[in-house]
Chain A
Amino acid sequence: MRPAIRFASIGLALAALAYAAAPSATAADAVDPVADAKAFKKYFTDKFPKVKLEDFVNGPYSMDEGLHQQWQEKEQFPPYEFSLELGKEMFSKPFKNGKSYGDCFPNKGIGIRQNYPYFDEKEGKVITLELALNRCREANGEPPFSYVKDEMAALTAYMAFTSRGKPFDIKIPNDPRALAAYENGKEYFYTRRGQLNFSCATCHVQSPGERIRAEVLAPALGILNAMPIYRSEWSGMGTTSRRFTSCNSQIRGVPFSPQDDEYRNVEYYLSFVSNGLPISGPGARP
Chain B
Amino acid sequence: MNRIRTSLLSLASVLLIAGATSALAASEADYKAALAAAEAANKQAAGVRNQWTTTAATINAAKKAAEAGDFDKAVASANEAEALAKASIFQATSEKKLWKDMEIR
Q: Interface residues, chain A, CB within 8 Å of chain B? A: 29, 36, 39-40, 43, 186-187, 190-195, 197, 199, 201-202, 205, 249, 252-254, 256, 262
Give the contact stretch, choosing among B8-16, B18-26, B63-71, B95-103.
Answer: B95-103
**Interchain Cβ contacts under 8 Å between A and B, 16 examples:** A190-B100, A190-B102, A192-B95, A192-B99, A193-B92, A193-B95, A195-B54, A195-B84, A195-B87, A201-B102, A205-B104, A249-B53, A252-B53, A253-B51, A253-B52, A254-B56
* Assembly CA distance A194 to B100 (angstroms): 18
Is A254 a contact partner of B102 (Cβ separation < 8 A)?
Answer: no
A164 to chain B, nearest CB (A): 27
Given contacts A192-B98, A192-B99, A193-B91, contact A254 B104 (CB under 8 A): no
CB distance from B99 to the nearest CB of A (A): 4
Which of chain B's residues 36-78 have a Cβ closer than 8 Å to chain A?
49-54, 56
Q: CB < 8 Å: which of B54, B98, B104 contacts A39?
A: B104
What is the minimal beta-carbon distance from B93 to any residue of chain A, in angstroms?
11
Task: Look across to chain A and name the residue whose beta carbon is closest to the beta carbon of B45.
Answer: A254
Whether B102 pairs with A253 at a CB distance below 8 angstroms is no
A195 touches B95 (CB 8 A): no
Cα A191 to Cα B92 with chains together (Å): 8
The docked-state distance in angstroms from the alpha carbon of A197 to that of B87 is 11
| 5 further A-B pairs in the complex, CB-CB below 8 A; given A43-B104, A190-B99 | A186-B103, A190-B102, A191-B99, A194-B52, A195-B52
Chain A residues in 8 Å Cβ range of B105 = 39
A190 touches B53 (CB 8 A): no
- Taken together as a complex, chains A and B put the C-alpha atoms of A238 and B74 apart, in Å, by 39
- Known contacts A191-B95, A192-B98, A192-B99; is-contact A262 B49 (Cβ 8 Å): yes
CB-defined contacts of B54 to chain A, threshold 8 Å: 195, 252
Chain B residues, Cβ within 8 Å of A187: 99
Closest to A187 in B: B99
Q: Are A253 and B50 in contact (CB under 8 A)?
A: yes
Chain B nearest CB, measured from A208 CB (Å): 12
Residues of B within 8 A of A194 (CB): 52-53
Closest 10 CB pairs between A and B? A254-B51, A190-B99, A190-B102, A191-B99, A43-B104, A195-B52, A191-B95, A252-B53, A195-B54, A39-B104
A193 to B49, CA, bound (A): 10
Bound-complex Cα distance A94 to B94 (A):
51
* Distance of A197 Cα from B98 Cα, bound (Å): 12
* Residues of chain A contacted by B102 (CB below 8 angstroms): 190, 199, 201-202, 205
A136 nearest CB across to chain B (Å): 29
A254 partner, pick from B53, B91, B99, B103, beta carbons under 8 A: B53
- Tell me, rounded to whole Å, the shortest Cβ–Cβ distance linking B60 to chain A: 13
In the bound complex, residues from chain B placing their C-beta under 8 Å from that of A39 are 104-105
Expressed in whole angstroms, the minimum distance between the Cβ of A85 and any Cβ of chain B is 36
Cα(A262)–Cα(B48), bound, Å: 12
In the complex, what residue of chain A is closest to B53 when comparing beta carbons?
Answer: A252
Chain B minimum-CB-distance residue to A194: B52
Across the interface, do A197 and B91 meet the contact criterion of CB distance under 8 Å?
Answer: yes
Chain B residues, Cβ within 8 Å of A199: 99, 102
Q: Nearest residue in A to B98 (C-beta to C-beta)?
A: A192
The answer on a CB contact under 8 Å between A195 and B53 is: yes
List B contacts of A191 (CB < 8 A).
95, 99
Query: Nearest residue in A to B46 (C-beta to C-beta)?
Result: A254
B8 → chain A, closest Cβ, in Å?
A: 49
**Contact status of A40 and B49, CB under 8 A, knowing A187-B99, A193-B95:** no
